[in-house]
């Protein structure tokens, strides 16, 4: 798998509600919840998905805000794995 170019990334992000470039090699989204435990439940669900696909996000928990960052480190940037995971996390959130 190879990294996506800038044009491909921008095109894919247009279809991913809430996701944006954090930097050249990372995409991120902050999800907001009405309670701490609802946020933790979300983290547990996306953790199960990450284990299934063997592609693990960077997760920051800040009370009711969960920030998820995706990058394919062994490829050195943003790949289809990141886009697919972002779409899956949006589905879990909704």
- Residue 42 domain-assigned (yes or no): yes
Q: How many domains does the chain have?
A: 1
- Residue 18 domain-assigned (yes or no): yes
Query: How far apart (Å, rounded) are the C-alpha atoms in residues 42 and 36?
Result: 10
Per-residue pLDDT for 5 more than 80?
yes
Per-residue model confidence (pLDDT) at position 33? 98
* Strand locations in the chain (E): 20-23, 26-32, 58-62, 65-70
Range of the domain at 29: 6-93
pLDDT tens digits, residue range 29-71?
A: 999 999 999 999 999 999 999 999 999 999 999 999 999 999 9
- Residue 68 domain-assigned (yes or no): yes
Per-residue pLDDT for 1 more than 80?
no
> What CATH number corresponds to the domain at position 84?
3.30.1360.20
The model's pTM is 0.93
Indicate the average pLDDT of the chain.
96
């Amino acid at each position: 798998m190879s990294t996506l170019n800038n044009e491909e990334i921008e095109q894919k992000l247009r279809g991913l509600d809430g996701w944006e470039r954090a930097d050249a090699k990372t995409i991120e989204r902050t999800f907001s919840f009405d309670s701490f435990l609802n946020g933790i439940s979300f983290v547990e669900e996306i953790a199960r998905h990450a284990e299934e696909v063997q592609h693990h996000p960077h997760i920051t928990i800040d009370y009711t805000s969960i920030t998820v960052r995706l990058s394919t480190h062994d490829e050195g940037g943003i790949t289809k794995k990141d886009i697919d995971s972002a779409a899956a996390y949006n589905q879990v959130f909704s």
